[in-house]
Amino acid sequence: MTHFASIRALLALLFVACLLTGQAALADEIRIGGSGNALGTMRLLGSAFHRQHPEHNVTLQSSLGSGGAIKAVPRGAIEIGLSTRPLTAEELATGVVVAEYARSPTVVAVASQSRVTGVTREQLTAIFDGQQARWPDGTAIRPVLRQPGEDSIRQIRSLGPALDKALTAAEQRPGLPFAVIDQEAADKIESIPGAVGVITLALILSEGRSLRALALDGVEPTPANAASGAYPLTKRFYALTKPEPSPAVRSFLAFLRSPAARDILARTGHWLP
């Protein structure tokens, strides 16, 4: 073999090695996306997992919502989907595997500089239907609305027929702020004077938001109170995968049950099912 032929052979081997390395890196990538309420905590979990397993790269997609995650997993667009609602029979028929990994209180929230510390169901009803237009300090109340079928709004509706009716009335009120995704809702509650909206304790703590979770009917929205049933609103977090996930995904799912992950979940307002 000539000198140049040897060089060409070596370059060819290096080229193949680079391709294989790139394919291995792609195979070890874990793309995660879904509910915005889960993303902040999942970012912390992904970083902790990568420190233990530097051979695996965790990348978070922008907020797809639960519905987007449910569609993306069977199509292979992401490796792990994050949902905060149970799947329908039709969605389960796609073969998606569902594992609940944590729970967190769903909360009514205001900006941290607000003096409001709690609300009752009756006050919420009056706020959404417009009968109570101002906070005690005189600030105009600005409810941040979501899509009618959004899970957090569905939970508020479940608190009683009067609140259900008030939320329907709020959807017809002109000029109220509206948020499509969870992070947008948090942004508007933080930034709009007098704003109030529905979010999770997990999002507030995991993203370091300048928001206050309000007591509801005198009960603080702590994980302990939600776990005991004293506080009535709970968000469940589900991890969605294909039936036969990659070794990297299996490793991440195992990590979610580890003491390190449990500590992160506890610090960000979750408890374990």
Shared-domain flag, residues 200 and 85: no
Shared-domain flag, residues 109 and 158: yes
10 domain residue, yes or no = no
Q: Which domain holds residue 145?
A: 104-228
21 domain residue, yes or no = no
> Which residues 6+ apart lie within 8 Å of 30 measured at CB?
46, 56, 57, 58, 59, 79, 80, 246, 248, 249, 252
Phi, psi of 146 (to 5 degrees): -125, 180
> Which residues 6+ apart lie within 8 Å of 10 measured at CB?
none
CA-CA distance, 243 to 93, in Å (whole number)? 12
DSSP 222-237: -HHHHHHTSS--EEEE
Is-contact 197 152, C-beta < 8 A? no
163 domain residue, yes or no = yes
> Which residues 6+ apart lie within 8 Å of 54 measured at CB?
none
Shared-domain flag, residues 111 and 216: yes
Prediction pTM value? 0.87
pLDDT in tens, 197-256: 999 999 999 999 999 999 999 999 999 999 999 999 999 999 999 999 999 999 999 999
123 domain residue, yes or no = yes
Shared-domain flag, residues 43 and 130: no
23 domain residue, yes or no = no
pLDDT in tens, 100-112: 999 999 999 999 9
Shared-domain flag, residues 112 and 203: yes
Phi, psi of 107 (to 5 degrees): -130, 155
Shared-domain flag, residues 210 and 150: yes
pLDDT in tens, 206-220: 999 999 999 999 999
9 domain residue, yes or no = no
Shared-domain flag, residues 252 and 211: no
Shared-domain flag, residues 72 and 123: no
152 domain residue, yes or no = yes
CATH number at residue 74: 3.40.190.10
Q: Element (H or E) spanning 144, and its range?
A: none
Name the domain count of the chain. Answer: 2
